[in-house]
Amino acid sequence: MIEIDREKCCGCNYCTLSCAQEALTYHEYQIIVDLDKCIFCGSCVYYCPNTAIRVSRKD
Ligand code: SF4
Ligand code: SF4
């Protein structure tokens, strides 16, 4: 699963740019995750400067 902490997110968009699956979009001041595209690789977690994203294995 993937969780975005909206209190920590500053809207820098590093995560959306880092996602090769194009699973993240920034819309109306929050990150939206397309779970049909996300492969839970964790790249967005690595690039987020505010530790606002948590990803764990799908199962
Ligand atoms: S875990 Fe990987 S595929 Fe999923 S949103 Fe983050 S970068 Fe994209
Ligand atoms: S990288 Fe982190 S702080 Fe930046 S938009 Fe994504 S979730 Fe928010």
Per residue in 1-15, pLDDT (tens digit) is 999 999 999 999 999
- Residue 12 — φ and ψ, nearest 5°? -70, -20
The domains located in the chain, with CATH, are 2-55 (3.30.70.20)
Q: Does 14 sit in the ligand 1 pocket, CB within 6 Å?
A: no
Q: How far apart are CA 12 and CA 17, in angstroms?
A: 10
The predicted structure's pLDDT at residue 31: 97
Residue 37 to residue 2: CA distance in whole angstroms? 12
Ligand 2 center–CA 59 separation, angstroms = 24
The dihedral formed by the CA atoms of 36, 56, 24 and 28, expressed in degrees to the nearest 10? 110
Which residues are within 8 A (CB) of 43 and not within 5 positions of it... i.e. 6 or more apart?
Answer: 18, 19, 20
Report which bound ligand comes closest to the CA of 56. 1
pTM as predicted: 0.91
